[in-house]
Structure 1
Amino acid sequence: SFFAPHRDSEKVNGMFATLVVNLPSRHEGGSLVVSHDDETRTIDFDGPAGAYSMQYAAFYTDCKHEIEPVTSGYRVNLIYNLRLAGRKRQPTAPRNSENVNRTAALLTELFTDGPYDKIAIPLVHEYSEAGLSPDLLKGSDRSRVDVLARAAEQLNYQLYLALLTHHQSGSVEDDWDYGGRWSSIDEDDAEMDEVFDESMTLSFWIDMQGHEKEFGKMNLDAEDLLDAKNFSGNPSRQEVHEATGNEGVTMERWYHHGVIVLWPEERYFRILASEGQDAALPALVELIDSEPDPASSEAGRTFAREIINRWRPSHPLYIKRDGQSASAVEMLTQLQRLADADLVNQFIREGMVNDYGGSEGALLGALCDQLGYASLASALTHFIAAQVPTERRASLKATVEIVANLCWHDAPMTDERRSVCRTLVGELQAVMEQWDQHVETSPWLREHETREGIVESLFQALAAIEAPDLLENFLTHALTNPKHYDLHTVLIPAVKTSYYEVDEQSLGTEVMHRLLQHCIDELHDLTKTPVPVPTDWAQDIEIRHNCEDCRELQRFLRDPKAQVYRFRVRKDRREHLHRQIDSHGCDMTHVTERKGSPQTLVCTKTRASYERRQRQFEIDTQLLEELREMAEA
């Protein structure tokens, strides 16, 4: 029921290996253990699968092997001697232990003295995604991977197979006719002249068990590619692009090649973090999920620190303030699980300061409750102070939302929390004054920031921390700054949203009554005199341009009786008149009558300004009635 460790003798001429075929048989034990070249593998034939399916294993005759005792049932096998007919020299089991030791020493030297975090070694043969697997490697690649994998295991390095994509873009060799079209070359035969840009990325990761790893795409520097002579051959794909504008004929090439990728295990976090938070955060979540006690996970803290150190803020031109930054929210969520105040402080100062959306306040409040408001106060103050209008990534509304959530989220209002929140609101008000005094010189670089919703948020926050003095200061600032705190778009919506939410016993009641009365007074002034109906067609508009056509347009505008005027002028003069009418806000339509030459621009005066003022008067009258009812309720 067992075999002691032994090597098979050559039972027939040319025998080089033994094949064991395990027939379906119910049993326990009887594992085959094969040892060779300082490696041992155990093949289990028992278990549920062994009772119903065929299994097999093969090993060279010079491999020591044994059969462990069968503890129950029957183990039924067919044993075959393997030989290659017609060959005098039969294959033998490779002995790589010496090469493994030498390779381990070289790898240690490479990562100790060199500038590498990771290295990639090209495979000799070509592989597709379907063929890139340890079990399907060809020729010398199998030995190469075997040696490197054993050396990596010895050194506690991580080793994977991956597909390397080398992309190049550049100009085509001079072989096209006048006009920028290639003529005598076929797209597949085109040769690149000068390379303008190139990059290398790794993807489709496979571990030594043949399992795919979700590392995504990873960049590779050219100096990290070793033994590059194996990285050659024809491109997998290339495209030639015709000339456009000032750019001549260009082409792109893509080379795909299988590589072996190694790195020391302790650099794994740094390597993933260097690819950016979008690539690294899923791995951090997976790591923390695997920890029985995340708060005591040293690996989790190390990885989180590497991600923060390499946090990449969004480019200011592409920031979308939709209420959240998915990466910042995810990072705060994982930091809450790690419960490390130093990491939270570092992330607020170095990561979130340039990458936030406004919804992070609830998580920050939970972190303050967990770690203590005082422990995060300095970092939060730094974050708020950095959100100045000259910083392209800053958003006043999102910053106000974060501070408001910190002040009024559902948790006990301790003295420590109230004190820290007062400090944060004080810093916020200083930042708001900078925003309200700022004159934007490059409005195309950021979305216009209104003050809509800000009054409501600050009222809730300041009422929650019982700071009537700060509330009074803010309201005074808002009421004396109608340019930013518009009556119709900011103040009245704030009253209608928040008036009934303020508790009569709250310290914010008096301030809210003051805001309501201010809105009533302003609406009363706007509606005490009806909008006068125009008695003629004259428009009091000063045309700033002084050409002949503009002087004629000016006379038409001032004429109290003329409603229609016709400019029969050439196209460029008509276009000039179109621009002047639109830019000066003239109440008139201006349509080209496409008859004759030159054609005629027909200008017809309207009552558009009067109609707008009348509609606004009616709206203001209705709003005044609504607010008076609120005040009397």
Structure 2
Amino acid sequence: MKKFLEALEKIQNPGTFCTSGEIPSCFLGLEIDKVGPIGLPLSKEQAKKIIKQSHRAPYGKGEKTVVDTKVRRTWQLDSGKFSIHNPEWNIAIEGVIKNIQIQLGLEKNKVSAELYKLLVYEKGDFFVPHRDTEKLDNMFGTLVIVLPSEHKGGQLIVRHDGQEKKFDFGHKENKYLTHYVSFFADCKHQVTPVTNGYRLCLVYNLALANRKQQPVAPKYGTDVKVIGDILRKWSNDHEPKKLVCLLDHLYSQAGISFDRLKNVDRTRAQVLFEAARESNCEAYLGLVTLWEAGDADVDFDDYSYGHCDDPDGYEMMETFDETLSVNHWQNAHGCKKNFGEIDLSADEIISKEAMNEREPDEKECEGPTGNAGATLEHWYHRAAIIIWPKHCHFDVISLAGKEVTLPELKKMVQSWNKSKHEKNNDAYKQCITFSKAIIDQWKSSNNNYEHDDPEVKQLLTVLIALEDVDLLKKFVKNVLVSDFTGKEGKQIVKICQQYGWITFQKELTLMLEQEEENKCSKFAQILEHLCCQKIKSDKNRLKVCRSLATKMLQCLLKWDLNKKRLESWRQPPVDRRVLIESLFKTFLSIDQLKLLESANNHFINNPGIYNMHKTLIPSVQNLHPWLVKQNLNLSVYVRLWKHCVTYLKSSVAPIKKPTDWFQNIRISCSCSDCKELNIFLKNPIEKEHRFRVRKDRRQHLHNKIEKHDCDMTHITKRVGSPQTLVCTKTRNTYTQKVKQREIDLRLLANLEKIKVVIEV
């Protein structure tokens, strides 16, 4: 992009041909001769009174001043016929003038504003395209202030050097606001017809003091064309994906806005926005951040462990990590855009210097920790104009991630739904394009934590509203297969009903072939919805559900019998209670008793996986109310119930209280300390024993006591050398058994209350 950078560097003069803004709320104190004080927003009654005191506004035609309502139709009051009494208004105008000086590139000049006239546009009034004549010495431009007045139409359009800006202050939200527009006198401008209400405005003539040659509007039409041509060619090639044009001056996150851009930055930004518009590209102002981390070049005497007092005193030797991103977006009108943080690549940056050639905006230093040396972090911030082709808009903003894109897509679909709900309009096409981009950029979520409304479910809900089967298949294949949470059951039933159960069978089967063990219980929840939800009978539904149920059981057996998988700390825990309940409901609902019998045998025969108290007993209790309502075969359930009851009956026998301190535990170690510990364990009389040994031997004893679950406490008495490990026997094991027996008695009573009916 060498030509692009060269074209950008040629733009050196600050300033634009036209600028606008809003004046903070200020009571005007406007009074008109023979009318009196004027209230704002302007009322219909007072507008008519002002018009009675006004005359038709003339315009300059050569050396003459004429009135011709075919060219200009509006009402005018000369400045001598009205007055402004609030002194704060002059202060507000001074603030406006300062902004105009900055925006028009006149910061080094003294600008004055002379009140010229008051204009009232009623329905049908307008002013055709024209240029203002100079009405006083050193006049260079015009300031138009549109006062609060409800109206429609009456747009002010300013053109110069092939560029055009439109200003419409007739919207309802502007009824109570005061706006201004300022432009050079050589700019052609017009006022479109007012279609309703009254448009009230003040006109000021702008002049420069002590300047012989008056400034004219800067011309950047050629620059816009050159850069626009480059953008059009790049848009077709589309490499790189974005162009990030760095600006020269420094701006903070709080201080970045189009109105606050300085000197030539403002001009270049304006040219880039205009060139992007003409070449069918998107353009936004944003804050680019480069973060670098590297080794700090410091001496050991210069820092304390884990801390660096002054990061400015150190240099970064070698960078070992960095990120480049953009955030804090605004469009050409200063409206903030929630595109979030988007990663950038170095080849997308357009600048004559690298970001890290300047001094960092922020520095942090961290002293050595463990085996790592001192590290230094640098942050560099630069304002930039970011450009990409319109046809790639959704591809780009989808890079911001689900947290940003999902709410935005939801708004777009809701907006389309509120319209005519037509599938051929642009709004619908944009929703489809954005949806595809989100799916293509989808990154798997961390589903280790439960969410009431997971992102996958949110996206599926939005896609269902768009009623596009190809889009849904793309979603199921690219997103749902690997990132489902178990909460998508109702939505999957809905799309299978609408587009056919066979349509998504292949993708649903793939969901069971994922590596993560916890996917098993999550898919069981989805399968429960597919099989149990009360909907119209469908032979394909039964076929698909039975096929998935068979596959489900196969995967369950494979997952459970893989000991390595069970021992992996990386895998999130499986909720086996939910798994059992879902499979019982699923297999019974589709009349698959053989599958249920196999699953039940697996549950009963693997107590190390399916814990009696945490899994089996709660499942029996939770399933009973549902089974009774369904009027289904209870034989398999009865077997599980009997298994739990039998276990509990064997667990509630009275527990004999120990009468001495004997513990039937043998420590599997032949060292002298462990031999002494074994003797202590077997001693029925000795409750406390002391080991006066060095630290490593105390630690060894500690480990053995913990490993063998010895019923004792072990505390180091830090007196003398070596210190003493004091071991005191307890009866915690007996106490725990008593508590567990009480729990088991209650559980047994609850299970025996369940009236089990065995079908013959």
Instruction: Report the residue type matching 2:615 in the other structure.
Output: V
Work out whether 1:478 is the aligned partner of 2:606.
Answer: no
Work out whether 1:168 is the aligned partner of 2:296.
Answer: no
- When structure 1 is superposed on structure 2, of 541-550 and 451-460 the one drifting more is 451-460
Instruction: Report the residue type matching 2:363 in the other structure.
Output: Q
Instruction: Report the residue type matching 2:378 in the other structure.
Output: R
Contact 1:167 1:254 (C-alpha < 8 Å) held by counterparts: yes
Instruction: Report the residue type matching 1:365 in the other structure.
Output: V
- Correspondence list, 1:332-351, <5 A: 332-351=460-479
Match of 1:303 among 409, 434, 446: 434
TM-aligned CA distance change 1:448 to 1:87, over 3 Å: same
Match of 1:243 among 344, 362, 368: 368
Q: TM-score, normalised by structure 2?
A: 0.74
Match of 1:406 among 530, 537, 555: 530
CA–CA distance in structure 1, aligned partners of residues 495 and 203 of structure 2: 65
TM-aligned CA distance change 1:168 to 1:622, over 3 Å: closer
Alignment partner, residue 194 of structure 1 = 318
Alignment partner, residue 632 of structure 2 = 507
- When structure 1 is superposed on structure 2, of 32-41 and 113-122 the one drifting more is 32-41
Instruction: Report the residue type matching 1:521 in the other structure.
Output: T
- Aligned-residue offset at 1:466: 2.9
Deviation string, structure 1 residues 265-314 (Cα, Å, up to 9, x no partner): 11111112233322322222222222133866232222222222221124
Match of 2:455 among 327, 350, 368: 327
TM-aligned CA distance change 1:190 to 1:627, over 3 Å: closer
Deviation string, structure 1 residues 64-88 (Cα, Å, up to 9, x no partner): 3345567899877665554433333
Work out whether 1:254 is the aligned partner of 2:392.
Answer: no
Contact 2:307 2:366 (C-alpha < 8 Å) held by counterparts: no
Work out whether 1:312 is the aligned partner of 2:437.
Answer: no
CA–CA distance in structure 2, aligned partners of residues 416 and 295 of structure 1: 29
Q: How many matched pairs?
A: 625
- Aligned-residue offset at 1:159: 0.6
CA–CA distance in structure 2, aligned partners of residues 23 and 399 of structure 1: 63
Work out whether 1:365 is the aligned partner of 2:496.
Answer: no
Alignment partner, residue 558 of structure 2 = 434
- When structure 1 is superposed on structure 2, of 566-575 and 289-298 the one drifting more is 289-298
Contact 1:325 1:357 (C-alpha < 8 Å) held by counterparts: no
Work out whether 1:212 is the aligned partner of 2:336.
Answer: yes
- When structure 1 is superposed on structure 2, of 500-509 and 263-272 the one drifting more is 500-509
- Aligned-residue offset at 1:150: 1.8
Alignment partner, residue 446 of structure 1 = 571
Deviation string, structure 1 residues 599-631 (Cα, Å, up to 9, x no partner): 443434444444444444444444334333324
CA–CA distance in structure 2, aligned partners of residues 456 and 493 of structure 1: 9
TM-aligned CA distance change 1:22 to 1:599, over 3 Å: closer
Contact 1:341 1:375 (C-alpha < 8 Å) held by counterparts: no
Alignment partner, residue 393 of structure 2 = 268
| Residue aligned with 2:747, SS | helix
Contact 2:360 2:380 (C-alpha < 8 Å) held by counterparts: yes
Alignment partner, residue 469 of structure 1 = 594
TM-aligned CA distance change 1:294 to 1:497, over 3 Å: farther
Work out whether 1:423 is the aligned partner of 2:554.
Answer: no
Structure 1: gaps of 5 or more residues: none
Alignment partner, residue 159 of structure 2 = 35
Instruction: Report the residue type matching 1:157 in the other structure.
Output: C
- Correspondence list, 1:135-150, <5 A: 135-150=259-274
Work out whether 1:397 is the aligned partner of 2:525.
Answer: no
CA–CA distance in structure 2, aligned partners of residues 530 and 49 of structure 1: 80
TM-aligned CA distance change 1:210 to 1:598, over 3 Å: closer
Pairwise CA RMSD? 3.5
- Correspondence list, 1:12-51, <5 A: 14-20=138-144, 32-43=156-167
TM-aligned CA distance change 1:208 to 1:532, over 3 Å: same
Alignment partner, residue 578 of structure 1 = 702
CA–CA distance in structure 1, aligned partners of residues 188 and 402 of structure 2: 49
TM-aligned CA distance change 1:53 to 1:339, over 3 Å: closer
- When structure 1 is superposed on structure 2, of 619-628 and 267-276 the one drifting more is 619-628
Instruction: Report the residue type matching 1:481 in the other structure.
Output: N
- Aligned-residue offset at 1:146: 2.4
| Residue aligned with 2:628, SS | coil
Contact 1:459 1:508 (C-alpha < 8 Å) held by counterparts: no
Deviation string, structure 1 residues 440-482 (Cα, Å, up to 9, x no partner): 3653323443522322222222222232232222222222222
- Correspondence list, 1:507-546, <5 A: 507-527=632-652, 530-531=654-655, 534=658, 537-546=661-670
- Aligned-residue offset at 1:235: 2.8
TM-aligned CA distance change 1:549 to 1:66, over 3 Å: closer
TM-aligned CA distance change 1:246 to 1:135, over 3 Å: same
TM-aligned CA distance change 1:265 to 1:598, over 3 Å: same
Alignment partner, residue 377 of structure 1 = 505
- When structure 1 is superposed on structure 2, of 365-374 and 219-228 the one drifting more is 365-374
CA–CA distance in structure 2, aligned partners of residues 179 and 48 of structure 1: 62
TM-aligned CA distance change 1:508 to 1:271, over 3 Å: farther
* Residue identity (%): 37
Deviation string, structure 1 residues 43-71 (Cα, Å, up to 9, x no partner): 55778899987665433333233455678
CA–CA distance in structure 2, aligned partners of residues 487 and 74 of structure 1: 81
- Aligned-residue offset at 1:179: 6.0
Deviation string, structure 1 residues 218-254 (Cα, Å, up to 9, x no partner): 2221211102438564332223333333333332222
- Aligned-residue offset at 1:560: 4.6
- When structure 1 is superposed on structure 2, of 617-626 and 118-127 the one drifting more is 617-626
| Residue aligned with 2:340, SS | coil
Contact 1:325 1:355 (C-alpha < 8 Å) held by counterparts: no
Contact 2:524 2:552 (C-alpha < 8 Å) held by counterparts: yes
| Residue aligned with 1:229, SS | coil
Contact 1:295 1:340 (C-alpha < 8 Å) held by counterparts: no
Alignment partner, residue 85 of structure 2 = none
Contact 2:294 2:375 (C-alpha < 8 Å) held by counterparts: yes
- When structure 1 is superposed on structure 2, of 503-512 and 15-24 the one drifting more is 15-24
Contact 2:295 2:374 (C-alpha < 8 Å) held by counterparts: yes
Contact 1:175 1:182 (C-alpha < 8 Å) held by counterparts: no
TM-aligned CA distance change 1:595 to 1:377, over 3 Å: same
CA–CA distance in structure 2, aligned partners of residues 45 and 594 of structure 1: 82
CA–CA distance in structure 2, aligned partners of residues 124 and 460 of structure 1: 66
TM-aligned CA distance change 1:11 to 1:510, over 3 Å: same
- Aligned-residue offset at 1:437: 0.5
- Aligned-residue offset at 1:122: 1.3
- Aligned-residue offset at 1:27: 8.0
CA–CA distance in structure 2, aligned partners of residues 398 and 413 of structure 1: 25
- Aligned-residue offset at 1:24: 7.6
TM-aligned CA distance change 1:363 to 1:92, over 3 Å: same
CA–CA distance in structure 2, aligned partners of residues 419 and 335 of structure 1: 26
Contact 1:175 1:184 (C-alpha < 8 Å) held by counterparts: no
- Aligned-residue offset at 1:157: 0.8
| Residue aligned with 1:234, SS | coil
- When structure 1 is superposed on structure 2, of 153-162 and 274-283 the one drifting more is 274-283
